[in-house]
Amino acid sequence: MKSPAVAKEDGTVVLSVKVVPGSSRTVAAGVLDGDLKIKVAAPPEKGKANAALMAFLSRRLGVRKNDIAILTGHGSSRKQLAIRGLSCSEVLRRLQGPTA
């Protein structure tokens, strides 16, 4: 998988994601225009897709859900996420590991 764009800001890693809700299962599906593309099984209603995204990334990165926050894009498919407790290289390494 190509590497998504990540940056370090104020002690957190900022990750750009493109979320595709309503998929058959939740998986990382590569990189699209520098964003990590994540397909989530949850529908795009009442925050269900955002909750599924946070749960998936929490498991995949090995951090608590509270260590991931949506900075921008709460109601959009494109989001900027802040991840605490990991370096940029560690985030990339864990994202490219075996599928969770």
Tell me the pTM.
0.88
In a domain, 1, yes or no: no
CA distances from 25 to 14, 39, 67, 83 (A): 25, 7, 23, 23
31 forms beta bridges with 36
In a domain, 78, yes or no: yes
Residues 86 and 61 sit within 8 Å (Cβ to Cβ): yes
Digitized pLDDT (tens) for each residue of the chain, 100 residues in all: 567 778 887 789 999 999 999 999 999 999 988 899 999 999 999 999 999 999 999 999 999 999 999 999 999 999 999 999 999 999 999 988 765 4
What is the H or E stretch that residue 10 is in? Answer: none
What residues make up the domain containing 60? 6-95
- Count of structural domains within the chain: 1
Residues 4 and 31 sit within 8 Å (Cβ to Cβ): yes
The percent of residues in the chain predicted with pLDDT above 90, rounded, is 79
Residues 79 and 73 sit within 8 Å (Cβ to Cβ): yes
Residues 89 and 15 sit within 8 Å (Cβ to Cβ): no
CATH of the domain at 71: 3.30.1200.10
- Please tell me the predicted confidence (pLDDT) of residue 99: 54
